[in-house]
Every structure is written in C-alpha cells, then in structure tokens.
Amino acid sequence: MTTRSPWVSYRLAKKTEPSEPVVGSFGGHPRGIRASEWPRCGVCGNAMCHMAQINPGPWLDLGRFTKLSVFICHATGGRCEDWDPWKGANRVVLHPNEDENLYDGPPTVRVYRRKLLTVQQPLDELGLMRRVKNEGMPMADALAELRHDKLGGGAVWLHGDQTPQSPTGQGPMRLALQLTTKLVSFDITPGGMAYIFVDPFSPDDAAGRLVWQGGS
Ligand SMILES: [Zn+2]
C-alpha cells in the first residue's frame, strides 16, 4: 500500500500558522465516523475512545484510503489488553470515503480537546543511522532524535521490537504513525508510546494495527 521510502519520517507538531498544512488531529471528536460504525471494544463491548486522525499526503501514503483513525478502549483500565494489536481492544480505521462534515458517535468519548497537527520537514532516518555506523554517533542519541510523534520511518521501541507481521505471511507491517503523550496527554501511561502500522501487503480496511508500550 505504501510506496514512500520507509526511511523518511515527518515529525508531527501542533499547527499554529495558517500557512501550515493540516495533516490530521489528535484528540477531540473524529470526523467521518457514523455512530453505527463507531468502533467498540472486542473484549468488553464498550465504545472505544478516539485518539488520532491522519490524512494522507506527501507525509503518508494510504493507498486508496482517505483517512486513518485510531481508537483505543479506556473502559476497563487496561484489563482489555489495549496494547495488543490482535485482541480487539484498539482499532485502526482506514476510511474508504472522505466525509469531513460527518460528526456523529457517542458523546462519552469526546474527552480531549482536538489539536490540529502539521508536519515539519522530512527527516532522513537512514542518514542518521549512517552517522551511527560511520561517525561513531551513539545509537541512543540517534534514537533520542526520533522519539517523538511522527509519520513513517522506524519505530523507536520502548521495550523491544513488536512490529506486527502481515497475516498474509509476506513480511512485517510498516510504521505509519508513532504517537507519544507529549502533544496530547492521552489518558494512558505518561511516557508511553503507540505505534500504528499499516500492512503493505493487504488492500483491505483491516490492514491497520496498533501496538502500545507503556512508560516505565
Ligand atoms: Zn474494552
């Protein structure tokens, strides 16, 4: 699905200037989700909380999809194992149709103020890793430069690599979004990070997966 270089990432920032492109939002109420289609937790059955929406653009290739939305279960304080990409206690929605005017769904999840996001200049992560290899830059320093909210590039894992494998058996999924608790203090462990992957081998709308790792 994604054709961009896997080594280029775009750091996310709060949008402050009118000239900056809107690439999505963190928090608030999502657009384009009907109440009847609102993701419910596969473990406890409650309506999930919305976290983020990202629009495709030069910063993220979503193939035929028009938006990526991220939801997580907050109903049971983690007992639903919301960190697991396969349990059904989180959801990555790939939208086949754009509907920015659709504002629907349960009010219980309108918990955070919506923050519009923009992106900074693309970052060549391969160049950074070459400095580690050829110039003696400590790997910890290189990873520290990538431990922020970003689109694309490599996942900076807090507790070891948990990249989901494509159910097609063709290889690992590709990082679409790395999300921290810095831009919006989501009601999840401070210092933790969410990693949203898209399966490049699958064309269907279930190709997105979320892995969560808690702060120490
Ligand atoms: Zn749940």
* pLDDT tens by residue, 81-112: 999 999 999 999 999 987 888 888 887 555 56
How long is the chain?
Answer: 216
CA of 96 to the centre of ligand 1 (A): 25
Percentage of residues of the chain with pLDDT beyond 90:
76
**CA gap 67, 8 in Å, rounded:** 20
Which domain does 48 fall in, by range? 8-213
pLDDT at residue 205 is higher than 90: no
Provide the sign of the torsion angle of the four alpha carbons 102, 104, 107, 111, taken in this order.
negative
Look up residue 204 and give its amino acid. D
Distance CA 73, CA 39 (A): 9
Residue 172: how many other CB atoms lie within 10 Å: 14
Radius of gyration for the chain, computed over Cα atoms and rounded to the nearest angstrom: 17
Give the Å distance between the CA of 179 and the centre of ligand 1: 20
pLDDT at position 103: 83
Distance (angstroms) between ligand 1 centre and the Cα of 183 equals: 24
pLDDT at residue 2 is higher than 50: no
Looking at the domain assignment, is residue 2 inside a domain?
no
Tell me how far the alpha carbon of residue 36 lies from the centroid of ligand 1, in angstroms. Answer: 18
Distance 74 CA to ligand 1 centre (A): 7
The pLDDT tens digits for 66-80 are 999 999 998 888 899
* Number of separate domains in the chain: 1
CATH value at residue 86: 2.30.320.10
137-192 residue pLDDT tens: 999 999 999 999 999 999 999 999 999 999 999 999 999 999 998 998 876 677 89
Tens-digit pLDDT profile for residues 114-138: 899 999 999 999 999 999 999 999 9
Ligand 1 midpoint to CA 45 (Å): 6
Q: What predicted TM-score, i.e. pTM, was given to this entire model?
A: 0.93
pLDDT grade for 215, boundaries at 50, 70 and 90? confident
Averaged pLDDT of the chain? 91
pLDDT at 104: 85
Q: Is the pLDDT of residue 113 over 50?
A: yes
12 contacts: CB under 8 Å, gap ≥ 6 = 23, 24, 117, 118, 119, 120, 148, 149, 150, 151, 183
> 129, 151, 149, 150: which is closest to 141 by C-alpha?
129
Q: CA-CA distances (angstroms) from residue 210 to 72, 118, 128, 173, 174?
A: 9, 21, 26, 11, 11
* pLDDT in the model for residue 74: 86
Residue 3's pLDDT band (boundaries 50, 70, 90)? low
- List residues, by chain if needed, whose CB lies under 5 Å from ion ligand 1: 41, 43-44, 73, 75, 80, 89
How far, in Å, is the centroid of ligand 1 from the Cα of 88? 8
- Structural domain contains residue 28: yes
Ligand 1 midpoint to CA 188 (Å)? 14
Find the 37 Cα to ligand 1 centroid distance in Å. Answer: 16
How high is the pLDDT of residue 88?
97
* Residue 3 in domain: no
